[in-house]
């Protein structure tokens, strides 16, 4: 499962740090922002649960498929709660731009950018993050990286077991996720370790898609 929100940090360690900052900030300023105390308490409980689950999933003695699944669930619950709090309370008065920055968020951008078809090509450069996780870095291989048509990236991928047939073209890839990041993380299932992941990317701008980038691959840790 990929981490796709442009406001949510990439790694679980960063996600946890952001959640803890939110809890600390809401404990001191939540009342002034008219945020119910129960919201802060719920967020604090989910943050603690995610912290505990991450410790178990990283520990060699306790890292099992069940622990990994529980960790994924705990962080999904935490993200869902943070998304809900952000939507319901952070982008309405009385928060200011400075308040949003203190929470690690960006003030809304009201500048309209004209839509255009992307023409640049990008590829996925992989790096290790953790067990069952690969980092993906977007690298431009053709075109202008600063073109305003480059709104986001559709990352296509396929997982092939040892001895399996590698995809011949990007069109053979059967799964995808969308991100606006130039660096993201994809988390694989416990049983995918030792298999090979193949990637290809298209830049997207609304319904408009750019040309395919080259196929790349990496062994899933």
The helix (run of H) or strand (run of E) holding residue 26 is helix 12-29
Model confidence pLDDT, tens digit, residues 162-221: 999 999 999 999 999 888 889 988 888 888 999 999 999 999 998 899 999 999 999 999
Distance of CA 180 to the CA centre of its chain: 9
The mean per-residue pLDDT over the stretch 96-109 comes to 84
Contact 79, 8 (CB under 8 A): yes
Give one DSSP letter per residue of 74-103, joined into a string. Answer: HHHHHHHHHHHHIIIIITSTT--HHHHHHT
pLDDT band for 2, please (50, 70, 90 cuts).
very low
Q: Which of 79-83, 94-98, 101-105, 114-118 has the lowest mean pLDDT?
A: 114-118
Inform me whether the pLDDT recorded for 40 exceeds 90.
yes
- What is residue 5's predicted lDDT score, i.e. its pLDDT? 55
Phi then psi dihedrals of residue 99, to 5 deg: -60, -45
pLDDT in tens, 124-175: 999 988 888 899 999 999 999 999 899 899 999 999 999 999 999 999 999 9
Asked whether the predicted pLDDT for residue 111 surpasses 80, the reply is no
Instruction: Give yes or no for a contact between 122 and 215, defined as CB atoms under 8 angstroms apart.
Output: no
Instruction: Tell me the per-residue pLDDT of 49-83, one tens digit each, with 9 for 90 and over.
Output: 999 999 998 888 888 888 888 998 999 999 999 98
- Over residues 10-23, the mean pLDDT reads 91
CATH topology of domain 121-219: Immunoglobulin-like (2.60.40)
pLDDT in tens, 75-99: 999 999 998 999 888 877 678 888 9
Q: So where are the chain's domains?
A: 12-102, 121-219
114, pLDDT greater than 80: no
């Amino acid at each position: 499962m990929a981490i796709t929100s442009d406001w949510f940090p990439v790694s679980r360690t960063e996600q946890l740090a952001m959640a803890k900052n939110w809890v600390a900030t809401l404990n001191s300023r939540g009342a002034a922002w008219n945020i119910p105390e129960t919201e802060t308490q719920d967020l604090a409980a989910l943050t603690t649960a995610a912290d505990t689950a991450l410790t178990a999933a990283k520990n060699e003695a306790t890292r099992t498929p069940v622990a990994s699944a529980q960790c994924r669930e705990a962080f999904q619950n935490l993200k869902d709660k943070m998304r809900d709090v952000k939507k319901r309370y952070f982008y309405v008065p009385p928060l200011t731009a400075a308040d949003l920055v203190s929470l690690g968020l960006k003030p809304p951008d009201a500048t309209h950018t004209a839509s255009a078809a992307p023409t640049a090509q990008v590829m996925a450069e992989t790096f290790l993050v953790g067990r069952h996780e690969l980092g993906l870095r977007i690298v431009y291989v053709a075109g202008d990286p600063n073109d305003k048509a480059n709104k986001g990236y559709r990352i296509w991928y396929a997982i092939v077991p040892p001895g399996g047939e590698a995809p011949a073209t990007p069109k053979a890839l059967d799964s995808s996720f969308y991100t606006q990041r130039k660096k993201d993380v994809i988390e694989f299932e416990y049983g995918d370790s030792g298999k090979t992941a193949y990637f290809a990317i298209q830049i997207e701008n609304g319904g408009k898609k750019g040309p395919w980038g080259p196929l790349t691959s990496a062994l899933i840790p």
